[in-house]
Chain A
Amino acid sequence: MSTPLVLTYVGFFVMAAITLGGALMAVSARNLIRAALGLIIALIGIAGIYFVLEAEFVAVVQILVYVGAISILILFAVMLTRGLMKRDLPAQNAQWIAAAFISLAMFAALLYVALSTNWRAVETQVAGDLIPKLGTELMTTYLLPFEAVSLLLLAALVGAIVIARE
């Protein structure tokens, strides 16, 4: 294997380990703040995976929106709710066996597909900077979804005011 490829592998496994560790912490912590911290770690790991996959823009967006903003919102939600911070909450409920079974079944199915698929490496390297290409696509091919996003954001804006206004 060439050196860059080895580095890609190392980078992927480091980031995957961070993501998995964070995710485990998020679902197993009994304190909600700790669980939120675990989630933040997992989100950072995912941003790292995007970097390894050379999707820099998505990675930066991931850090900006998810690590920077969404996680803060989750922490706020915990802090805004009466008595959530003081208590340790059980990390499992009565349905955890069923949930574990379904998750394992889904994992097995995904694993089977991942192993059975003939992954063809994309031969054509996208030349140059990806962001201008993204901008062009957004304005041409994906113009309709792009404008629909503005409506979606507006609906969320109205919803936030309706729900959270005193």
Chain B
Amino acid sequence: MSLSVPDLNFRVIAPALIVALTALIVLLAELVTPAPRKRWLGVLGLIGLLIAAGATVGLWGAPASAFGGMVVADNFGLFLTLVILLGAALSILLALDFVRAHRVDQGEYYVLVLFAVVGMILMATATDLIVIFLALELLSLPLYILAAFKRADARSLEAGLKYFLLGAFSSAFFLYGIAFIFGGTGTTNLMKIADALAKNPRNDLLLVGAGLLLVGFAFKVALVPFHWWTPDVYDGAPTAVTAFMSVGVKAAAFGAFFRAFLVALPAFAFDWRIVLAALAVLTMTLGNVAALLQSNVKRMLAYSSIAHAGYILIALVAMGASGLSSALFYLLAYTLTNLGAFGAVIALSDGERERLEIRDWGGAARQYPFIAAMFAIFMLSLAGFPPLAGFTGKFLIFSAAVETGWAWLAVIGVLNSLVSAYFYLRPIVQMYMSEPVPGWDRIRVAPLVALALVLALIGVIALGLYPTPAIVMATGGFLR
């Protein structure tokens, strides 16, 4: 019997492979590292992420698929891989002192982050629904644990449990959808689904399958009305974990979401764009309106992340090359900005005591002018003020929508941005205008957190002032 060995092109999966190996090394190193030196495991993880980023850059510009069409290294996937690696590296920088302050200084923290990164990279580069599902599980499972990582804190445990229950529930929808798509087309490969659809564009089984798949994706990227878990989980999870998952999961899940809908389903007789447009309107509007009502900065950022998922969904509705590149640029800008925002929350905390109520932020600008200024810039970028990354991202998405005849959607997006300016400006006003709240002098800003903030800040300003290189990189598109 002869085996038909698949094309074992390990180069194509090199970034994920390197991160996986790093995770295994850190896991073994954890066993022999004495307690005071656990932070070196995080440094080890950082080195692995950097090597993986180097490998990703090395793959740039030469799209290839491997393992029988299970994964590809096209510029779309590689761009997201870089975004994920960047987000993970910055969040490890934020975590190195954070885990010590919260007395959860264990090597497993970094191992779980690295496992999640492997899942995220696989999800962004997978072209087969089986791999997408496995990658989704591989990124979700470590995040359930990380959300509950601070076991002494009941709210952290609650966040982990809630995330786990709803995540498992959404995975079931996702898997059920895959089963229907397989039933309708006889394949789980995205390109082959497209071929099957081209022959027979009306396919009820596929319609149900795509609908269930949409529910699964909507849970993961937190689209309204599948967003209920987000505020509680983002609020309850340790802030460094929230920072990581608010950017990594979005990049990975949107990557697979875009790929599944734009590679497999364009020939579909049913126009799914109108459904997505409705979801985008709901998500933006409810996210922003709910964020207006929050007094807790983590919950405010949670609802803000829901609203941003709505903006990114507009890019999917717009389809086409401009929609795709605008989404990639937006995800990069969002990753840097959001990590910066959560990083500032971590920077301005006194050991385990975090200042989560916005009204307690009074006087921060007087004591910590640099951190406060950086936080203000991140807020302005999230709100979409020029000349920052968030503005360029929104501009690209809205113009892609106008270009493809979805001007009304862009108008709703702009109106939403106006509403969002109010709650993004509120903490800034509080920091700069309000009476000082006592206790700021106890806070020592960790140097590594400050470093992460500065790196994010450079990115946010550079992407705003000089976005062209990133936009050019983002226009690579899929390997079909």
- Taking a contact as CB atoms under 8 Å apart, the answer to whether A139 and B3 are in contact is yes
Number of residues in B with C-beta < 8 Å to the partner?
41
Nearest neighbor of B17 in chain A, beta-carbon distance = A147
- Taking a contact as CB atoms under 8 Å apart, the answer to whether B204 and A140 are in contact is no
Is A3 on the interface with B (CB-CB < 8 A)? no
- Taking a contact as CB atoms under 8 Å apart, the answer to whether B134 and A113 are in contact is no
Also in contact, A142 and B130, with CB within 8 A (given A117-B205, A151-B20): yes
Rounded to whole Å, the gap between the CB of B292 and the closest CB of chain A is 26
Which listed residue (B131, B148, B184, B205) contacts A144, Cβ 8 A? B131
Is A97 on the interface with B (CB-CB < 8 A)? no
Contact with B along A105-126 (1 / 0, CB 8 A): 0000110110011000000000
Rounded to whole Å, the gap between the CB of A58 and the closest CB of chain B is 13
- Taking a contact as CB atoms under 8 Å apart, the answer to whether B208 and A162 are in contact is no
Rounded to whole Å, the gap between the CB of B134 and the closest CB of chain A is 5
Question: Which residues of chain A (119-161) have a CB below 8 Å from chain B?
Answer: 136, 139-145, 148-149, 151-152, 154-156, 158-159, 161
Is B149 on the interface with A (CB-CB < 8 A)? yes
Which listed residue (B111, B122, B135, B204) contacts A116, Cβ 8 A? B204
Which label, helix, strand, loop or mixed, suits the secondary structure of the B interface? helix
**B414 surroundings in chain A (CB, below 8 A):** none
Rounded to whole Å, the gap between the CB of A152 and the closest CB of chain B is 5
**A148 surroundings in chain B (CB, below 8 A):** 122, 131, 134-135, 138
Interface centre among A140, A149, A151, A156 (most CB of B within 10 A): A151
Q: How far is the CA of A161 from the CA of B149 in the complex (A)?
A: 11
Which listed residue (A140, A142, A159, A163) contacts B151, Cβ 8 A? A163
Q: How far is the CA of A136 from the CA of B5 in the complex (A)?
A: 10
- Taking a contact as CB atoms under 8 Å apart, the answer to whether A152 and B134 are in contact is yes
Rounded to whole Å, the gap between the CB of A55 and the closest CB of chain B is 13
- Taking a contact as CB atoms under 8 Å apart, the answer to whether A155 and B149 are in contact is no
Which label, helix, strand, loop or mixed, suits the secondary structure of the A interface? helix
Which listed residue (A116, A136, A139, A155) contacts B141, Cβ 8 A? A155
**A116 surroundings in chain B (CB, below 8 A):** 204
Contact with A along B171-204 (1 / 0, CB 8 A): 0000000001000100000000000000000001
- Taking a contact as CB atoms under 8 Å apart, the answer to whether B141 and A156 are in contact is yes
Q: How far is the CA of A155 from the CA of B119 in the complex (A)?
A: 11
Is B260 on the interface with A (CB-CB < 8 A)? no
- Taking a contact as CB atoms under 8 Å apart, the answer to whether B141 and A162 are in contact is no
The stretch of B67-75, B293-301, B309-317, B472-480 in contact with A is B67-75
Q: How far is the CA of A151 from the CA of B116 in the complex (A)?
A: 10
Question: Which residues of chain A (68-108) have a CB below 8 Å from chain B?
Answer: none
Which listed residue (A110, A136, A163) contacts B3, Cβ 8 A? A136
Is B53 on the interface with A (CB-CB < 8 A)? no
Question: Which residues of chain B (1-17) have a CB below 8 Å from chain A?
Answer: 3-6, 8, 13
**A163 surroundings in chain B (CB, below 8 A):** 145, 148, 151, 160
Rounded to whole Å, the gap between the CB of B235 and the closest CB of chain A is 20
Question: Which residues of chain B (185-235) have a CB below 8 Å from chain A?
Answer: 204-205, 207-208
- Taking a contact as CB atoms under 8 Å apart, the answer to whether B68 and A141 are in contact is yes
Is B115 on the interface with A (CB-CB < 8 A)? yes
Is B108 on the interface with A (CB-CB < 8 A)? yes
Nearest neighbor of B118 in chain A, beta-carbon distance = A151
Which listed residue (A112, A144, A159) contacts B67, Cβ 8 A? A144
Which listed residue (B13, B112, B131, B145) contacts A145, Cβ 8 A? B131
Which listed residue (A136, A144, A152, A156) contacts B70, Cβ 8 A? A144
Interface centre among B5, B115, B148, B207 (most CB of A within 10 A): B115
Also in contact, A117 and B141, with CB within 8 A (given A139-B3, A143-B67, A162-B112): no
Interface centre among A113, A139, A156, A163 (most CB of B within 10 A): A113
Is B137 on the interface with A (CB-CB < 8 A)? yes
**B134 surroundings in chain A (CB, below 8 A):** 145, 148-149, 152
Also in contact, A143 and B122, with CB within 8 A (given A113-B208, A148-B138): no
Contacts A113-B208, A142-B130 supplied; 20 other A-B pairs, CB < 8 Å: A109-B208, A112-B204, A117-B205, A136-B3, A143-B6, A143-B67, A144-B70, A144-B71, A144-B131, A145-B128, A148-B122, A149-B134, A151-B20, A156-B141, A158-B115, A159-B144, A161-B108, A162-B149, A163-B148, A163-B151
CB<8 Å pairs between A and B, sample of 28: A109-B208, A113-B204, A113-B208, A116-B204, A136-B3, A140-B5, A140-B68, A141-B6, A142-B130, A143-B8, A144-B13, A144-B67, A144-B131, A145-B130, A145-B134, A148-B122, A148-B131, A148-B134, A152-B137, A154-B115, A155-B138, A155-B142, A156-B141, A159-B112, A159-B141, A162-B112, A162-B145, A163-B145
- In the A-B complex, the 3 residue pairs with the smallest Cβ-Cβ separation, listed nearest first, are A159-B145, A144-B67, A155-B115
